[in-house]
Amino acid sequence: MPSWSELQPFIVSGLALGGVYALSGVGLVVLYRATGVLYLAFGAVGAMGALIAYSLISAGAPGWAGWIVCVLFGGVLTLGYGMIFGPPLARRDPLVKAVATLGLTLVLFGVMDLLWTSSGGQARSITLPTDNGGFSLAQIQVTWTQVLSLGLGIALTVGTGAFLRYTSLGTAMRAMANDREITATLGVPVRRVEAAAWFGCGVLGGLAGLLLADLVALDATTLTFLVISSLAAALIGQLRSIPVTFGAALVIGLVHDLLTPITQLTDYRDMSPFVLAAIALLWVSRHGTVMSRSREEA
Amino acid sequence: MVQTTAAQKTAPAPARQGWAALRRRDTITRLSVITALLAFTLFGLPQLLSLYYTDAMTQVAAYAIVALGLGMLVGRVGLYSLGQVAVLAIGAWAAARLLFATGQPFPVVLVEAGLITMLLGTLIGLPALRLRGLYFALITLMLSGAITVVLATVNFPNGGGGFTGYNGGSLHIPAIRRPSIAGTDVAYYRYAVVVAIIMFVLVYAHIKTRPGRAWAAIRQSEPAALAAGINITFYKIWAFALASFITGVAGGVLAGADRFLYSIDFHPQDSIALLAVVLMGGVYSMYGAVIAALLNSLLPAALQDWGVSQDWLTILFGIGVVQVLTTAPAGIVDQFPRDMKRLGGLLWRLVRRPAPGAPAASAPPGAPGAPGASRGGKA
Amino acid sequence: MKEYAPRRWRLAAALASVLAVGGVLAGCSSSSTSSSSSGGAPATSSGAPATSASSGGGGASDTSSCGSKPGVAATGTPINLGTINTQQPGTDFTDIANMAQAYFNCVNANGGVNGHPIKYSIQTEKTDPAQIASDAKQLVQGDHVVGIVGNTSILECTINHKYWEGLGIYVIDSGIAPECWSTPNTAPVNMGPRYSSDGAVQYMISLKVDKIAFDQSNVPGTDYIAAGPKAIAAAANVPIQTFTTNVPIQSANSVALQLVQAAGKNGAVVLNFTPPEALKILQAAAKLHIQNNVKAWGCSTPCDTDFLASALGTAFDNKLFVNAELTPADGTNTPTMNLYRAILKQYGSNVSGGIGSFSQFGFVEARLAVQALSTVQGDYTVASVNAAFKALKDVETGMNCGKFTYGDYPMHIPNNADYTVTPTKGQMLVVPGSGCLSISTADPQIAQYVNLAGRAPADTTSLGS
């Protein structure tokens, strides 16, 4: 067993990893609550946005231009998907809506591999100005980017919770995610609210993609399927509770990194998100709450 | 409540009609057509194909079984599993281990691999079956993620000793053996097709008898099925166990086809692509499984032969999933004949009317209903 | 084949595997250096790229020297060659085949091989054993190849070596799987993950580190790879701790922490990963400010790319030492390197990575094949072509430390001496004064091969003067 002083840095790195999961996990839940769609293309959209930013920056564009394009790409693409495929799928089961976004994931993934090939051993990365500063904690450096992502996670947790609950647009989104037709009968401009929800979520996806490309890697495969691990946190939050998702993401990150220095368990540490999610899901289902319902109220 | 999905509401209709129609048709004609097709698949096809395509067709046979299991879960019981590739991996692992460790006949190993997979799959899936819809899909994805990590650490057997049968330091990894009667590629292709036929018959027998009726009732409405005295949990487990069994057998077929197995060949993401092709093929008909397997295993081989990047295939599958979900829930197997009929009607009208009328004639065929029109348009 | 679909996805996996295995290939990319090497002797090089003048741009040399009759297109019956390369998202070795194709195109445009053009068939695979096997059949039955040149695949040697052996085919490839070095009919121009890791560990030992933490991606064959570094460290009495990491890595921070803690203040961390994954760990260490908590960092060949050097900035300059299998490309002004750049420029539009170790491997393999083919008298049959391949002896590739020999041996490790490079201002440059490093016979496989074939004489054309 590692000593306490050896473990300390893993606590810090675990929280940073948790911040990564939180960013996309919270993003998934926010989207789900606002649109009623589990947007599994979240990672792919962010990855493609970040790759576009990378190409622009490599071609000589200023950094901020690349970042804005990345975020806008996420927003516009997601808006486009939502506007085209939202209505025909509106009355379908959440499961069908989620699987349809897997279709988008496949399309984006194929496009990314075509356009940003690795046939020459290319390794890409994107750095943000916030990488350079930071402070030292438990013998290791914490960059402002990590702080930023954690902060964004917290801001989302607090902000979107309040937004969805207290603003009229937020209320309209929740109502719409729950039942589009009834919401429409109540006089809510469904199309516009939907558009706002999709666009906002896409922007979030682009923003997350940019940060994750910096924190994890600028790699289409890694970022696209990071969603699977992040989904674990969202599932623990039952796709509903943003604070629980945020907390679960931190716990998953901590567990994962704390297992790293423990020789006997280190090979299995990558199971942590899946095992924790499975335990949580089963525990909740045993206590017979919403989990066994197929349609959630947002 | 559960029964709310549109898929569940709309889907049964075409499926029921399809099966009823099949039943109405002359059984003898149908049987002879099927027999002729199978005879061609077994004996004619290998004569026409190069070894490259014969190998691809062996994969089609194995994946048809996997697709059949997943299609049955999705189409007949309403369980969207995103973990079937992990189940396949368990079957392949068990078969490879047995083939290295024992001299048992291949068919015995296939059955054992199926049973082991059934046992493990059911044990792992049992708690998941308490969940429904989206949550079932997601927990299967989580479980397959966990299984993948275990497999990556344990590795597939490669002729080593111990429980895992893995020797990471091996300089010469031996091939997994094939049945003595099917050592060559062509013979093994026939072998795989025969195994696939047996699996299809097994599933067919279930669908035609009490379990099939119970599944149909469950899919339409769980409360109604409950009221009718159907033990929902029992029949769901039965479906899951049957799917796991045949997928395990498919894993065994795959072990003999591939001859070398690696954990990097079984990833959670693969299950997503598998679900995509199964949905595209059509989950309400057993033929859909064959189409899914052709999409999954033959199309990539053909694309490579034609020099087209596989990335286009990924893109195509992505578009296919969205298209199937939005406009054609019964998949290609249902959509294609109708498109052909519509095309035939269109052509017939074109022929009957002289050229000037042609543009006008092209409009009506789409008209019979909005869904039809959009389906035609996308196809 | 099978599944691309599902398996296709294995991208991730692929990556991983690549790494592991792949370490090999990824190899070197550009760097500038000048060192005169003579065999195992230390080369001189002034660290500065100074010496080597620029040749980089390559305008200089023309391509016609690739063939025997400059400017005359070959019109004879084609000689069919083939290759199988991994191509899947995240793990793509087609640059090697594409560069070989570029070389053959150049040859075909300049007289061909004794008047015959070379027809090159490229098959790709997605780390899928069934597909790899059927690709081989397609090459033989469909494309009627008489020789296999340029194979670069994570699994291909394992799956197909028996098939090639049965046909009497002697493969010239860039290897990854163990069977690429341990079979009579495969001779790679690269060293592969094991021997390249050996080289990285040897260099660390030469820096007098007191412990080594060796990490590689978790793919099949990890024990085979780790056996080399373990033997080398044991012979030097340096403790070594080995790790494996699942790829793609999601938490590079914890991996970096784990390795740095294991190595300790005077220790070294040695990585065997594909470029993107190695980059994750190195960047994490830099961001955590722990890269100086160990004495040095080592890396097998894949890290030798300018993509990595430029992404790392200056954090690892003279801190990271990468085992490099081929002459660094930047600024080396040898006839071979100039020809390579010229061919790349004129015929290499398909080579997406441009100058780099992948395309260099393709160049070397194609060059060896052409040289062997030009010795064939009479018809180009499987028998005559492969006899010529096998007869290659002490050939100057112009890019390897030692001369290349195929020969009739039960195993082949023809490339067992190489360079060490370090990132310098965004490029990978040969470490000043390092020269060619012979992989130690402390690795039992190397000992076995050297016992059979001896050490190859130095290729004096590899580095400019």
Q: What's the pLDDT at B255?
A: 96
| pLDDT score, position C331 | 65
Residue C346 has pLDDT above 80, yes or no: yes
Asked if residue A184 is part of any domain, the answer here is: yes
Average pLDDT over residues C25-47: 33
Q: Are strands C417-424 and C427-430 parallel, antiparallel or unpaired?
A: antiparallel
Q: Structure tokens of A89?
A: 């799928």
B187-191, B216-220, C19-23: segment of lowest average pLDDT: C19-23
Q: Residues of chain C with pLDDT > 70: what percent?
A: 86
Q: List the beta bridge partners of residue C123.
A: C84
In this model, does residue B179 exceed pLDDT 70?
yes
* Closest CA of chain B from C87, distance in Å: 9
C89/A267 touch (CB, cutoff 8 Å), yes or no: no
Task: With CA atoms as reference, report the closest residue to A21 among A292, A252, A294.
Answer: A252
| Cβ count within 10 A of residue B12 | 16
pLDDT at B379: 29
Q: Does residue B214 carry a pLDDT above 90?
A: yes
pLDDT recorded at residue B16:
53
CB pairs under 8 A between B and C: 169
In order of their start, the domains of chain C are: 4-33+55-192+329-416 (3.40.50.2300)
Q: Examine residue A148 and state whether it is found in any structural domain, yes or no.
A: yes
Instruction: Please tell me the distance from the alpha carbon of residue A125 to that of residue C297, in angstroms, as a whole number.
Output: 20
Q: Does residue A18 form part of some domain?
A: yes
CB C331 within 8 A of CB C32: yes
Chain A interface disruption, residue of C8, C215, C259, C288, most A CBs within 10 A:
C288
Average pLDDT over residues B234-249: 94
Of A106, A239, A267, the CB nearest to B318: A106
Distance of CA B144 to the CA centre of its chain: 17
CA dihedral in degrees (B155, B157, B159, B163; nearest 10)?
A: 90
B63:C128 CB<8 A: no
Peptide bond between residue C248 and the one before it cis (omega within 30 degrees of 0)? yes
Q: Do A103 and B321 touch (CB under 8 A)?
A: yes
Chain A: give the shortest CA distance to residue B190, in Å. 33
Examine the pLDDT at B360 and tell me if it is beyond 70.
no
The domain limits of chain B are 2-330, 332-379
CB A208 within 8 A of CB A230: no
- Region B17-31: mean pLDDT is 66
**ipTM metric:** 0.87
CATH topology of domain B2-330: ABC transporter involved in vitamin B12 uptake, BtuC (1.10.3470)
Are C293 and C258 in contact, with CB atoms under 8 Å apart? no
Of A244-253, B40-49, B109-118, B129-138, which gets the smallest average pLDDT?
Answer: B129-138
Whether the per-residue pLDDT at C152 is higher than 80: the answer is yes
Q: Which residue ranges of chain A lie beneath pLDDT 70?
A: 1, 121, 287-298
Residues in chain B within 8 Å Cβ distance of C19? none
Residue among B131, B139, B322 whose CB faces A103 most closely: B322
Tell me the average pLDDT of chain C: 84
> Distances from the Cα of C89 to the Cαs of A49, A221, B300, B328, C11, in angstroms?
17, 7, 15, 30, 5
Range of the domain at A81: 4-112+137-292
The two three-digit tokens of residue A168, written as one number: 């009229």
| Contact flag B50-C220 (C-beta cutoff 8 Å) | no
Predicted pLDDT of residue C56: 39
Q: Residue A107 and residue B318: Cβ atoms within 8 Å?
A: yes
Q: Which of C22, C40, C28 is nearest to C455 (CA)?
A: C40
A-B Cβ pairs (cutoff 8 Å, strict) = 160
| Residue A124 CB partners (closer than 8 Å, separation 6+) | A51, A54, A116, A218, A219, C276, C307, C311
pLDDT per residue as tens digits for the range B294-343: 999 999 999 988 888 888 998 999 999 898 888 877 778 777 777 778 88
Q: Across residues B103-120, what is the average pLDDT?
A: 96
What does DSSP say about strands A140-143 and A134-137: parallel, antiparallel, or unpaired?
antiparallel
C28 has pLDDT over 60: no
Taking only the tens place, the pLDDT of each residue in C439-451 is: 999 999 999 999 9
Whether pLDDT at B157 is above 50: yes
pLDDT at B23: 58
User: Is any Cβ of chain C less than 8 angstroms from the Cβ of A123?
Assistant: yes
Three-state secondary structure of chain C: CCCHHHHHCCHHHHHHHHHHHHHHHHCCCCCCCCCEEECCEEEECCCCCCCCCCHHHCCCCCHHHHCCCCCCCCCCCCEEEEEEEEEECCEECHHHHHHHHHHHHHHHHCCCECCECEEEEEEEECCCHHHHHHHHHHHHHHCCCCEEEEEECCCHHHHHHHHHHHHCCCEEECCCCCHHHHCCCEEECCCHHHHHHHHHHHHHHHCCCCCEEEEEECCCCHHHHHHHHHHHHHHCCCCEEEEEECCCCCCHHHHHHHHHHHHCCCCEEEEECCHHHHHHHHHHHHHHCCHHHCCEEEECHHHCCHHHHHHHCCCCCCCEEEEECCCCCCCCCCHHHHHHHHHHHHHCCCCCCCCCHHHHHHHHHHHHHHHHHCCCCCCCCHHHHHHHHHCCCCECCCCCCECECCCCCCCCCCCCEEEEEEEECCEEEECCCCCCEECCCCCHHHHHHHHHHCCCCECCCCCCC
In total, how many domains does chain A have? 1
Q: Is the model's pLDDT at C384 over the cut of 90? A: yes
Say which residue the tokens 């799956």 belong to: C159
The arithmetic mean of pLDDT across residues B255-282, rounded, is: 90
Strands (E), chain B: none
A228, containing H or E segment: helix A220-236
pLDDT at C244: 92
| pLDDT average, residue stretch B141-157 | 90
